[in-house]
Amino acid sequence: MIASRKSIQGRIFTLLLILQAALIVTGGAVRLTGSGLGCPTWPECTPGSYTPVPRQAEGQLHAWIEFGNRLLTFLLFFTAIAAFILSLRISKNLIYKKRLRLLALFQILGIFGQAILGGITVLTDLNPIPVAGHYLLSIALITGAIKLRYEVVGNEMQSVSPLLQTIIRIQIALTILVLIVGTVVTGSGPHAGDLKARRFGFDPQIVSWIHADLVIALTIFVFVTFLMLKDLSGPLRKMTSIFLLVILSQGAIGYIQYFTGLPELIVGVHLLGSTLVWITAWSLFEILGIKLISGKAVK
């Protein structure tokens, strides 16, 4: 641990993680309110102006919803800058300073990538491929933010058997697959962000079934992990219990939205749930002490 969770440094890295997750939720709000083209161009909001203008053809509400999501990206960017500067200052005497600094730098580069991908999304009239990429890049940035936060405030690790390590690795792979297929379901469904936006063209029912089957498979693996840990104490058991609760709740919400005709509010909650699923899944993985970026010892 380099800094306390409640210190200013610790809060900055926590805020970075929260904002990365919030960007997914606000991006979903843009899509679910039909505001995907509220700002019809990029980097400007409308030709000749970087902000919404009165009597804009897209409507003031849609314009400001989309513009608000863009503003959140700026707040996220400045938070990432602050986190990078802090990482330089607090890592001077650390043997793993290279890893810490690279994780912080990747946050900044990833946000630039999000901005560019967001522009491509707008300029291609919400093509589902960059829309899906937008979400998956956010998932990657959340992963980095979790690791960066744990590097600073510390986390309790636990050694387990090779078999259990393998099962948890399978869980991560399944979770990634669930999220990817989830973007295909979204790109095939009705909430495109604009009435004229393209869709993938897949049968929404079939891809929804595939998505649900993967969630069931993931739930089984998590439940098996839970049973294998029932006689053990430590952070792994606690996080597995949380993950099982989150994945069951998310599955229930998924079925509710499917059988109620995909109401916007429930879909939004499901999107938030997908973010929580990944955060808990990766936090579980972190307890095993896996490093994305190795750091050479330095004097």
So what's the pLDDT on residue 13?
95
Q: Answer whether residue 206 shows pLDDT above 80.
A: yes
User: In this prediction, what percent of the chain has a pLDDT beyond 70?
Assistant: 96
Decide if 298 is inside a domain: no
Decide if 282 is inside a domain: yes
Q: Answer whether residue 272 shows pLDDT above 90.
A: yes
CB 95 within 8 A of CB 294: no
pLDDT band at 155 (very low <50, low <70, confident <90, very high): confident
**Distance between CA atoms of residues 85 and 206, nearest Å:** 47
Residues 66-94, mean pLDDT to the nearest whole number: 92
For residue 152, give every residue at least 6 positions away whose Cβ sits within 8 Å of its Cβ, in sequence order, or none. Answer: 1, 2, 3, 9, 10, 13, 87, 90, 100
- CA 177 centroid distance within chain: 14
Decide if 3 is inside a domain: no
So what's the pLDDT on residue 285?
85
Q: What is the residue-averaged pLDDT of the chain?
A: 89
DSSP 8-state secondary structure symbol assigned to residue 299: -
Residue 200, domain extent: 8-286
**Distance between CA atoms of residues 132 and 130, nearest Å:** 5
pLDDT band at 281 (very low <50, low <70, confident <90, very high): very high
Decide if 295 is inside a domain: no
Decide if 293 is inside a domain: no
CB 61 within 8 A of CB 35: yes
Regarding pTM above 0.75, the answer is yes
Decide if 217 is inside a domain: yes
So what's the pLDDT on residue 298?
34
Q: Answer whether residue 1 shows pLDDT above 80.
A: no
Structure tokens given for 116: 């560019």
The number of distinct structural domains making up the chain is 1
Q: Answer whether residue 216 shows pLDDT above 90.
A: yes
**Distance between CA atoms of residues 257 and 269, nearest Å:** 10
Decide if 117 is inside a domain: yes
**Distance between CA atoms of residues 276 and 286, nearest Å:** 15
How many CA within 13 A on the CB side of residue 168?
28
Decide if 1 is inside a domain: no
Q: Answer whether residue 265 shows pLDDT above 70.
A: yes
